[in-house]
Structure 1
Amino acid sequence: MDLEHHYRHKQHTFDAFCKRTIRNESANAFRQIRVQQDRFVSLSDLPEEGSEALATYDLYPWEYTSFPVGGDVILIKDDRLADALTALPQRFRDILLMYWFLELADREIGERLNLSRRTVNNRRQQAYELLKELMGGDANE
């Protein structure tokens, strides 16, 4: 009988251990959920600026005007800017596109177009002034 009592005692001890472990794990899980809920911010509670940063928008090729420059193609979404760039002479447009969108220095543009750095600089300034006139704006806009 003593052996049977010992096995029963072991079984009860193991059952108590399992129940305590499950209770502690459930308490940990609820605590973790509570912490996450404290940190959670509903998307509806975000200000409009915050929700726009999280948004993704589909981009379609027909929404852009493409400008081939050398071996690159530059896509412009703003129709007003695209129309003004289209109205520019090719020699001015290429220099502006390389400078602003390909971020090339005057020297690099000159090497690509076989022009001197000073010529590229002058044409870029002329193109910028002409672009301002075409867009009807101030240089600081």
Structure 2
Amino acid sequence: MKLSSFEEIIRLQFNAYMMITIKGTVRYRRKQRIRRLEHEALFCEIPEIKQNSQNNYDSYSIDFSVFQVWNFSIKVSDEKLGTALHKLSEKQRNYILLYYFQDMRDREIAELYHVSHSSVSYMRNKGLQKLQALMNERK
């Protein structure tokens, strides 16, 4: 079936547009690869001193105090803080952990526990005072 001259022009324009787009994409990918290669270094080219400074630290479950609050497992790596948190009441500990480790606001915590946000704020602040006293006591 023979295309009309109008359809032939449209097909040629579309082909030209596609070729321009493909060439642009190829150029962009090439520039992107060159930029990446400028910043990356092969491991074999890195001096041994820098290789040794790239330390890897393994963390094991015995290095953490783990607290279970609602669906969250919250790991605290500081031994003093973990011990002090264990000495707080459960509500104070949960409010502090949710606020500082899960980045929840007082209103969100209040909704979880079905209490007012002012009582959450009060309990959290009292817990922080007690926590600070416990931490200073252990020094």
- The answer to whether TM tops 0.5 is yes
Match of 2:107 in 1: 107
Q: CA–CA distance in 1 between the matches of 2:66 and 2:46?
A: 40
Q: Aligned-pair distance for 1:65?
A: 1.1
Q: How many residues align?
A: 95
What are the equivalent positions in structure 2 for 1:49-64 lying under 5 Å apart? 51=53, 54-64=54-64
Answering whether residue 120 of structure 2 is matched by residue 120 of structure 1, we say: yes
Q: Aligned-pair distance for 1:57?
A: 1.3
- Secondary structure, counterpart of 1:56 in structure 2: coil
For 2:76, the aligned partner's letter is: I
- Secondary structure, counterpart of 1:66 in structure 2: strand
For 1:98, the aligned partner's letter is: L
Q: Would you identify which runs of 4 or more consecutive aligned residues in structure 1 move more than 2 Å?
A: none
Q: Aligned-pair distance for 1:55?
A: 2.3
Q: CA–CA distance in 2 between the matches of 1:126 and 1:80?
A: 19
Q: Aligned-pair distance for 1:123?
A: 0.8
Match of 1:70 in 2: 70
For 2:75, the aligned partner's letter is: L
Q: 1:43 to 1:122 in 2, by over 3 A?
A: farther
Q: Aligned-pair distance for 1:41?
A: 4.9
> How does the TM-score come out when normalised to structure 2?
0.62
For 2:133, the aligned partner's letter is: E
Larger Rg: 1
Q: 1:98 to 1:42 in 2, by over 3 A?
A: same
> How does the TM-score come out when normalised to structure 1?
0.61
Give 5+ residue unaligned stretches, structure 2.
Answer: 1-40
- Secondary structure, counterpart of 1:55 in structure 2: coil
Q: Once the two structures are aligned, what percentage of the paired residues are identical?
A: 29
Answering whether residue 93 of structure 2 is matched by residue 93 of structure 1, we say: yes
For 1:95, the aligned partner's letter is: Y
- Calculate the aligned-residue CA RMSD, in Å: 2.3
- Secondary structure, counterpart of 1:58 in structure 2: coil
Q: CA–CA distance in 2 between the matches of 1:129 and 1:102?
A: 20
Q: CA–CA distance in 1 between the matches of 2:114 and 2:85?
A: 22
Q: CA–CA distance in 2 between the matches of 1:58 and 1:132?
A: 29
Q: CA–CA distance in 2 between the matches of 1:43 and 1:135?
A: 41
Give 5+ residue unaligned stretches, structure 1.
Answer: 1-35
